[in-house]
Amino acid sequence: MNKLIRDAIIKICDLLCDYDRLNFLSISTKHDKYKQHIYFDEEVPIKRIIGLSYFNRFRNVFVSCIVNKLPPDVTHLKLSHGCDENIFDNLPNTVTDLILDLRISRNIKGCIPANVKRLRMTDAVLLNQCDLNGRIPEKVTHLFLGRSNLPVDISNCIPKSVKHLEINMGLIPNQNIELHEGLTHLAIGEECLASFRVPYSVMQLVLPSSYANPIIPYGNKYLDICRKIKNIPSSVTHLTYRSNTFDDITSWVPSSVTHYTHYSNSHVGCYNDNGYRREYVPSGVTHLTLPDYNKYCSLRKIPTHVEHVTYRHFDSNMDEKVLEWEDIPSHIKSVTIGMIRMVR
């Protein structure tokens, strides 16, 4: 009977978030003992759980202080500034997702658990003694290399298991890095000055503004760019163009593009009387995403070939507060503004 009760309580906890699990198991001393039988999977600072009797039941831990132990079954681990580098000597093999956001001056060879599949070096401060070559485990499939205070040589550090690669750290200039076939997602940041040959296997590609005319392989479907690029292959169907002005891209974008996203970082807004033009949207586009819903690019100014429109934000100065289908052109089948979606 006790086993049935325990199984029922565990099943109920599987349907709850961590906060609700704790509240549910804290209603009585009988319930409290079941904290030793369930896992908590939402990120929590280790200093909040270090003294708990069920410390070993946490699997997503954020470390920003000096500690001498980790939960033995932790799978998601973030190491931030403030924790001791010696923690690398005690990382459990259960870790599959590791974020490094701390000062690294030691040799980390053999310190990253072999079972890590997702490795993010978001804001790691790499010093001279830290060499990445041969340090990244062979099971890593998602690799993010963020900022670094020193130029880094990564020419031999990326294992062939990596499918998703994002590089935004300052690399040794003029490196000619050969990326392996099998890579499917590649994102290159503005701080990366090395040159890459984009593998033919890459289907999703993000390029910085410093890449003027890269060779984009046929087979790429998702392209994210910051400037005009020649010879975009006809395999591209989803295009994101980042610019603070709404440029005419019809002359250099292939007709295969059906999903077009215009992204602007401008807080003032890139659309005005001399900005947005419906004729600047390629004729093959059926799904259009724009930064703001305002009077310069309202639904009545959307091209007739576009069927699905998304606005990331709503301009609070708009007079049109409520949308009704009778006010929306008939060629538009769905409208999304922020978190609100309307389907005809």
**Residue 259 covered by a domain:** yes
- Torsion sign, CA atoms 89, 87, 139, 43: positive
Mean pLDDT of the chain: 84
The DSSP code sequence of 114-176 is TT--EEEESS-EE-TT---TTTS-TT--EEEE---SS-B--TTT--TT--EEEE-S-BPTT-E
Q: Does pLDDT of 322 surpass 60? A: no
Lowest-confidence pick of 9-18, 102-111, 244-253: 102-111
**Residue 110 covered by a domain:** no
pLDDT at residue number 308: 96
**Residue 80 covered by a domain:** no
**Residue 341 covered by a domain:** yes
pTM of the model: 0.85
**Residue 332 covered by a domain:** yes
**Residue 251 covered by a domain:** yes
State pLDDT tens for residues 280-291. Answer: 899 999 999 988
pLDDT at residue number 193: 62
**Residue 42 covered by a domain:** no
Number of domains in the chain: 2
pLDDT at residue number 292: 79
**Residue 224 covered by a domain:** no
State pLDDT tens for residues 40-79. Answer: 999 999 999 999 999 999 999 999 888 888 999 999 999 9
Most confidently predicted of 19-23, 142-146, 189-193? 19-23
**Residue among 196, 154, 162 at smallest CA distance from 178:** 196
pLDDT at residue number 88: 84
> What is the residue range of 275's domain?
237-344
**Confidence grade of residue 85 (pLDDT, cut at 50, 70, 90):** confident
